[in-house]
Chain A
Amino acid sequence: MESNKTVITIRNLVKTFPMGNREFTALNGINLSFAKGEFSGLVGPSGSGKTTLLNIIGTLDSPTEGEAIVLGDSVGELSQKKAANLRNMKIGFVFQTFNLLPVYSTFENVEFPLLLQKMSAANRKKSVMDALDWVGLTDKAKSRPAQMSGGECQRVAIARAIVKKPEIVLADEPTANLDAENSHNILKTMEKLNQSLGTTFLFATHDEKVIGYLKRIIKLVDGKVASDEIFAKK
């Protein structure tokens, strides 16, 4: 079922940030590629560049040197508008802080990416309810983020990421604000999605619980790949 199509290719990627009058190198010569349907994660100490790499893959940031090719497009060369479109159609984000829009209900938060896609109301409703069904929150469709627990909020964020059936889901410390039970819940949900829809997942994490689910672990140290291990079956 899993094809070996490459969805992400990273070549000689360097990312520097200006720091005062010097430059700070956050990523230093990264070479990686990910095939469709991988369930992998970036690990490594704080400040090693995990978030920076995820942001570049997610077209929220661009490389200083080298290239990151995501679904056939080179991130640094995409126009702002094309990058937005790529995010909207094909990439889902899940963040540590759930980043829901507080004034909108669960349903509306999940519906938002579909509104940007100009999907019809009937299709939107069906897709949103399907996504909420995936994360087990159909009964909370009308609740606002403030009325829900952290675990529920993160499930809403996952529903928002997957509602558009993206090719890639990028998850930056998705369990950092959750307890063990909720962490396992959302990880199982993501694993299920990965298996049944073939969605490619890439995590950035410190969390042992998350690491336990990963099939490939890439360790970053000081902006470099220190190790890259694949686990056949857990």
Chain B
Amino acid sequence: MIRFLLKGLFRDRQRSLLPVIVVVTGVLLTVLMQTMMTGILGDLIDFNAKFSTGHVKVVTKAYAERMDQTPNDLALSKVAQLKEKLQTEFPSMEWVPRIRFGGLIDAPDSIGETRSQGPAIGWGIDFLSAGSKEAERMNIPKSMVSGHLPKKAGEVLLSNQFAEKLKVVPGDQITLFGSTMNGGMTVYNFKVAGTVIFGSGVLDRGAFIADISDVGQALDMPDAASEILGYFKNNRYDKIQAADAVKKFMSAMNTADPYAPVMISLRDQNNLGEMVDYEDLVSVMIISIFVMAMSLVLWNAGLLGGLRRYGEVGVRLAVGESKGHVYRSLIWESILIGSIGSVIGSVIGLLLSLWIGKNGINVSGFMKNASMMMPSVYRTVITSPAFYIGFIPGLFATVIGTALAGIGIYKRNTAQLFKELE
């Protein structure tokens, strides 16, 4: 009997191939959407962590209150000592000071007159000391499009777009106009070492990245830094550990002093908390949306298939099959179809995710004007839910759809089923 039913199922493409294709498509989309969302959110968090927030960040209390203005007059001082303290207290993290600043870049012509100028978003990071991972952390070596990394004092990287706007190439001289830690004016010359493309709107418009000691000198910030960023050694943000670190650090702090350092975790910066929490919600949301959509689609497909099959069902009943037997065989069919479709859909979805995870999808075309710190190459990330998430809409929706459609068989009386085929 089972063989007989299977034969019928596989010979009738409308009953097997078509629903399998529907299920495969839905499952594949579910898996892709899940890995995509996980990837995008993960990247977004990661990107922010690397360029801006760290996994935790230490700044002065006063700086924290106006962090988006990078108020370097409120910067941390005695940085070497503070860094050492952090390193001994939190050995599982790596601590890196950075200077963030804004300024005006001026490109002079051969006689020293202004040729072009533009506003810069500046970074002073540790390029030059041995063993520094800062350049890698910001993915600079891979983002280089011309020139080389700063190898000695006085060298700077510009975002490629910025360099083109200023009409400068590696080797050219540029001048930074900025303000010192004490509120004075400063003018400092750099040599362009290379240009980079980060693939993020904000960064690509006006990034200026030099070694922290140069920037410290330019802005008159000896042994000072805007912030000290802490990174977990496995490079993954762990919200619980981060919260623990903050708690430990803050309990020992004198909070009355506006220049006292405070520690802030990633989730409390740039509204990333919502993102971090959202990451957990994504799976639930995607599953619900797809289960609903697919149930509707498959229910309709089941209804149509059911209607189409009233004739067959009528014959089977006339020949002496019971309604229960017919109904159960329809359910078994749908379990089979749902499972096959879910497996195939999940495999294809995972393979596609693997490929997109490796190669990425460039969406920079859509994000020219984005001001958020967003990477413009999307990558999928496969986490364990990706392996089973597709089965929920794939299997459950198929079976539920068939179960609902099949109720028609019970509701109609047998003679009626017959009429409908004539």
List residues of A whose CB falls within 8 A of some B CB. 52, 55, 58, 60-62, 80-81, 84-89, 91, 93, 95-97, 99-101, 103-104, 108, 111-113, 115-116, 118, 160
Contact = CB atoms under 8 A, between A and B. Distances in A.
Contacts of B413: 61-62
B317 to A, nearest CB: 7
Contacts of B315: 99-101
Interface string B398-409: 000000000000
Contact of B322 (A61, A84, A101, A112): A84
A191 to B, nearest CB: 23
Contact of A81 (B316, B319, B324, B418): B324
Nearest to A80: B323
Contacts of B311: 99
B422 interface: yes
30 contacts: A52-B415, A55-B415, A60-B414, A60-B415, A61-B414, A80-B322, A80-B324, A81-B322, A81-B324, A84-B320, A84-B322, A84-B323, A88-B320, A89-B320, A91-B320, A95-B418, A100-B315, A101-B312, A101-B316, A103-B7, A103-B8, A103-B11, A103-B12, A104-B4, A104-B8, A108-B7, A112-B4, A112-B316, A116-B320, A116-B321
Interface in B324-354: 324-325
Contacts of A55: 415, 418
Nearest to B11: A103
Contact of B318 (A85, A93, A108, A111): A93
Interface in B276-328: 311-312, 314-325
Contact of B321 (A88, A91, A96, A108): A88
Nearest to A160: B319
Interface in B108-159: none
Given A103-B8, A112-B4, A60 B422 contact: no
A108 B4 contact: yes
B418 A60 contact: yes
Contacts of A118: 1
B363 interface: no
Contacts of A108: 4, 7
Interface of B: 1, 4, 7-8, 11-12, 311-312, 314-325, 413-415, 418, 421-422
Contacts of A97: 421-422
A85 B315 CA distance: 14
Nearest to A58: B318
Contacts of B7: 103-104, 108
A174 B422 CA distance: 14
A52 B7 CA distance: 34
Contact of A99 (B8, B11, B414, B421): B421
A85 B415 contact: no
A84 B422 contact: no
Nearest to A157: B315
A52 B316 CA distance: 19
7 closest A-B pairs by CB:
A88-B320, A84-B322, A61-B415, A87-B320, A103-B11, A55-B415, A60-B414
Contacts of B325: 84, 116
Q: Which of A58, A96, A99 has the most CB of B within 10 A?
A: A99
Q: Which of A87, A91, A108 has the most CB of B within 10 A?
A: A87
Contacts of A52: 415
A99 B414 CA distance: 15
B199 to A, nearest CB: 54
B12 A88 contact: no
B73 to A, nearest CB: 82
Q: Which of A62, A97, A103, A111 has the most CB of B within 10 A?
A: A103
Given A60-B414, A61-B415, A116-B1, A101 B321 contact: no
Contacts of B414: 60-61
A101 B320 contact: no
A80 B326 CA distance: 12
A136 to B, nearest CB: 22
Given A101-B312, A115-B4, A87 B318 contact: yes
Contacts of B422: 96-97
Nearest to A87: B320
A104 B413 CA distance: 25
Given A88-B319, A97-B421, A97-B422, 10 more contacts: A61-B415, A80-B323, A84-B325, A87-B319, A88-B320, A101-B8, A104-B11, A112-B4, A116-B1, A118-B1
A19 to B, nearest CB: 14
Contact of B320 (A100, A103, A111, A113): A113
Contacts of A87: 317-320
A116 B316 CA distance: 10
Nearest to B321: A116
A99 B315 CA distance: 6
B319 A113 contact: yes
Contacts of B12: 103
B146 to A, nearest CB: 66
B398 to A, nearest CB: 20
Contacts of A84: 317, 320-323, 325
Nearest to A170: B318
A80 B317 CA distance: 10
A224 to B, nearest CB: 20
Contacts of B324: 80-81
B346 to A, nearest CB: 29
A85 B322 CA distance: 7
A224 B7 CA distance: 45
